[in-house]
Structure 1
Amino acid sequence: MREYLLTILVAALVAYVLVPAVRAFAVWFGAQAVPRDRDVHVIPTPRLGGLAMFGGMVAALVVATGLPEMRKVLAAGDISVGRALLMSGGLIVLIGIADDRWEVDPLTKFAGQVAAAGIFIMQGIQIYVIPQPNGETLTLPPAYGVPLTVLVVVATINAVNFIDGLDGLAAGVVGIAALALFSYAYWLSKANGMTTLSSATLTAAVLFGMCAGFLPHNFSPARIFMGDTGSMLIGLLLSASTIMLTGQFDSANLANGLFPFYVPLLLVPAVAAVPFMDMLLAVWRRTNQGRSPFSPDKQHLHHRLLELGHSTRQAVLIMYFWVGLLASGLVGLALFDAAWITLGVTMVVAIAGMVLMLALPRRRRRAAALAGRGDAGGTGRPSERPRMPV
């Protein structure tokens, strides 16, 4: 655990320290997000925050190579994790820089994402097995494993890109997912008497550190955006950890049966469930109104939370809450035998969160109404401080 904590700390510190320099470079380079009608930010904000996150990743991998046990993990068997992350991450960052500055067309970005997945496959990061309902695993030949790996990488990158709609939302959500994957892999290995050192666990740890270091600069009001440079990079690492975890555990050796084997495949969809549902509703809403499904509007979930009376920070924290609840529920079901207790606790927390989410803006509106009524009961002019006698 100490070696993991060190890599997390290095990734976080380097990402945090690099942000001011990256921000200055983005302003000089002209990579800034100009406010649009549907945006929440009101002033031009520099992009390219992903460069600082990439620096945190590189620093963490360099430190990991100096740790005896981690060095073995980075080049374990047929998988060269360090080389795969550096090569594919570097490619994604270059495409992201071009997009943040000149807006690359979707086809070019898609080709770059597929190429990054191809680098993973060439370095041994690939889906080799999938679980079956009968408890056995199905070995996938390259004809099936390769396209499935590409699909997972591209889908995860674009899911994270879609999440990036509010200050701090993508970094926080992916950080929560990375922490959940790390906890799942570490504690499940420990509980079943396996080694806790693995490439998937290391990748999740580095990803969590990158997000944690960048988030203080990106939380509302954001001083810098991660841009496509960052959203595609953290999506890439999230997919890498998911793919490597898929084949890490043998379902026959797991104490809680087959369900833990499915967790890596379920976790990313669970994390992206809320924004994905928002995307489907947006497509349905726009087509019903006779508009293009890609036409922008201000009726997304975060816009509705703002209309309810929540601040931007509260809207992001609400999204954190639901993502964290889904992720912790899945990890809890994988680690603990008492499934009904885990489900019960999750439901109680969900109900409490829903009540608070609806009650807070209502209380704020009531307080504002009472304050307005108090002003109306007076003279209609600002109250004056009584004068002292001369």
Structure 2
Amino acid sequence: MRIYLFIAAIAGGATFLLTPIVRHVAIEFGAVGRVRARDVHKIPTPRMGGVGMMLGFVVAMCFASRLPLTRGLFHNSLQPWIITIGAVLVCLLGVCDDRWDLDWMLKLAGQLIISVFVAWGGLQVVSLPFGSLVAASPSMSMAITAILIVASINAVNFVDGLDGLSSGIVAIGGVAFAIYSYIIARNSPSYASMATMIDVALVGICIGFLLHNWHPAKLFMGDSGSMLLGYLVTCASIVMTGRLDPTTIHASIFLPMFMPILLPVLVLFLPVLDMCLAITRRLAKGQSPMHPDRMHLHHRMLRIGHTVQGAVLILWGWAALIAFGSIMVLFFSIRYVAIGFAIATVILTFATLYPYFRRRIPEIRAENAAMSAARESAKGNMGRPKHSTDTVTAGRHRRAERGNDTSVRDQTAKH
């Protein structure tokens, strides 16, 4: 465990130290995001923060290749280097988008090419657990792997809308991944686990960048960062689950979460949910799935009255509830986990809706008071004596008749 913590510290420290340099390079390179209608920030802010995260990951992998516990992972397979090369390529594709705002179809094509390259290099989902473990053909494995990577890349990209939101959510998911993969690795002759190594490095670069990205952010991760995070979290899940045979592990840790398709969805539940809602919403309007709008989950949080920091913390809470709730069954009874999950859901629901109720309840009270006053006024008019109204009306008629008589007499006298 200490080795993995050391790898995380190396990744976080390298990212933290290199990110200010990347910020200056981004300004010189012209990768400064203009303020768009859908953006929350009010001033132009440099992007390309993903370059610092990518460099931190590369440094961590180089250190890991020399450590006694994880050195064998690099000697026995090229997979960690293939994953690292894919991370560099994904980040460079994101840099191009941060600088020149690539067309979404061109960007999607680049993601597919990189995903196929990584799958061709050996990172593949070899088996799918549907009832029993069924071996897939190589072409099917590559297709499933590429689809998973592209979906996760865009899911994290969709949710990257507030300072610190996506890096925090991915860090939470990375911690959950690392705990589960470490438990799986304890059943093997060696504690070395490539999935755990990637997870802890991922958590490290997220925390190192978050120190520069907390609101108000000095630097945005941009597509270079969001796509990198989505890529790495999926690579770690495929490494951990793509070759997992449930017959080789104890039944107490056999969870549906080992499925390569279900695991990223559980840990990245909020990004995946936001992506699905956005695609459905845009297609229903006849728009492109990549058409920007201000209807994402974080935009809705701000609309009901949350601050940027408050919205980020609450969304972190939801991500932690789903990610850690799925692995708590490893340590506690399912009944206790369900009770705790229900309590946490109620608390987070109240925290999510509190600004809305705080603003809406006084408005409802004012509306009720106005309606009550209107009803009282209507009752008062209905209860007024009818003869009083007749008397006033009759008096007005008599005064008008007297005025007319006076006018007639005056005219007669003149004649």
TM-score (normalised: structure 2): 0.81
Residue correspondence of structure 1 range 204-283 to structure 2 within 5 A? 204-252=199-247, 253-256=249-252, 258-260=254-256, 262=258, 265-283=261-279
Could you report, residue by residue, the CA deviation over 1:73-121 in whole angstroms, capped at 9, with x for unpaired residues?
A: 2233xx3233112321221122111111111222332232222223322
Deviation of 1:363 (Å): 4.7
CA separation of 1:75/1:120 partners in 2, compared to 1, >3 Å: closer, same or farther? farther
Deviation larger for 255-264 or 213-222: 255-264
Deviation of 1:258 (Å): 4.1
CA separation of 1:186/1:291 partners in 2, compared to 1, >3 Å: closer, same or farther? closer
Does residue 145 (structure 1) correspond to residue 141 (structure 2)? The answer is yes
Deviation of 1:183 (Å): 0.7
Per the alignment, residue 88 of structure 2 pairs with 90
CA separation of 1:85/1:289 partners in 2, compared to 1, >3 Å: closer, same or farther? closer
CA separation of 1:104/1:290 partners in 2, compared to 1, >3 Å: closer, same or farther? closer
Deviation of 1:125 (Å): 1.2
Give 1:324's aligned amino acid: A
Give 2:227's aligned amino acid: M
Separation of aligned partners in 1, 2:88 and 2:20? 21
Give 2:199's aligned amino acid: A
Deviation of 1:283 (Å): 4.7
Structure 1 contact 26–46 (Cα < 8 Å) conserved: yes
Residue correspondence of structure 1 range 58-207 to structure 2 within 5 A? 58-76=58-76, 79-133=77-131, 136-190=132-186, 192=187, 195-207=190-202
Separation of aligned partners in 2, 1:207 and 1:225? 17
Give 1:301's aligned amino acid: L
Deviation of 1:260 (Å): 5.0
Separation of aligned partners in 2, 1:109 and 1:288? 23
Per the alignment, residue 319 of structure 2 pairs with 323
Separation of aligned partners in 2, 1:247 and 1:161? 24
CA separation of 1:263/1:315 partners in 2, compared to 1, >3 Å: closer, same or farther? farther
Deviation of 1:122 (Å): 3.2
CA separation of 1:286/1:185 partners in 2, compared to 1, >3 Å: closer, same or farther? closer
Deviation of 1:357 (Å): 2.5
Separation of aligned partners in 1, 2:268 and 2:9? 26
Structure 1 contact 286–293 (Cα < 8 Å) conserved: yes
Separation of aligned partners in 1, 2:334 and 2:152? 28
TM-score (normalised: structure 1): 0.86
- Secondary structure at the residue paired with 1:68? coil
Deviation of 1:313 (Å): 0.7
Unaligned 5+ runs, structure 2: 363-415
Separation of aligned partners in 2, 1:181 and 1:259? 13
Separation of aligned partners in 2, 1:346 and 1:84? 38
Does residue 352 (structure 1) correspond to residue 319 (structure 2)? The answer is no
Residue correspondence of structure 1 range 333-372 to structure 2 within 5 A? 333=329, 335-336=330-331, 338-359=333-354, 362-363=357-358
Could you report, residue by residue, the CA deviation over 1:4-53 in whole angstroms, capped at 9, with x for unpaired residues?
A: 11110000000011111111111111001111111100000000101100
Deviation of 1:329 (Å): 1.1
Residue correspondence of structure 1 range 371-382 to structure 2 within 5 A? none
Give 1:250's aligned amino acid: D
Per the alignment, residue 373 of structure 1 pairs with none
Separation of aligned partners in 2, 1:69 and 1:293? 45
CA separation of 1:119/1:33 partners in 2, compared to 1, >3 Å: closer, same or farther? same
Paired residues in the alignment total 363
Separation of aligned partners in 2, 1:264 and 1:149? 9
Deviation of 1:198 (Å): 1.2
- Secondary structure at the residue paired with 2:134? strand
CA separation of 1:343/1:189 partners in 2, compared to 1, >3 Å: closer, same or farther? farther
CA separation of 1:241/1:275 partners in 2, compared to 1, >3 Å: closer, same or farther? closer
CA separation of 1:201/1:285 partners in 2, compared to 1, >3 Å: closer, same or farther? closer
Deviation of 1:280 (Å): 4.1
CA separation of 1:106/1:122 partners in 2, compared to 1, >3 Å: closer, same or farther? same
Per the alignment, residue 14 of structure 1 pairs with 14
- Secondary structure at the residue paired with 2:306? coil
Separation of aligned partners in 2, 1:173 and 1:154? 18
- Secondary structure at the residue paired with 1:69? coil
Structure 1 contact 96–227 (Cα < 8 Å) conserved: yes
CA separation of 1:8/1:257 partners in 2, compared to 1, >3 Å: closer, same or farther? closer
Deviation larger for 41-50 or 215-224: 215-224
Could you report, residue by residue, the CA deviation over 1:257-293 in whole angstroms, capped at 9, with x for unpaired residues?
A: 6425635532321244334433444455556667666
Per the alignment, residue 47 of structure 2 pairs with 47
Unaligned 5+ runs, structure 1: 368-390
Deviation larger for 112-121 or 38-47: 112-121
Task: State the Cα RMSD in Å.
Answer: 2.5
Deviation of 1:193 (Å): 5.9
Structure 1 contact 97–229 (Cα < 8 Å) conserved: yes
- Secondary structure at the residue paired with 2:12? helix
Structure 1 contact 267–330 (Cα < 8 Å) conserved: no
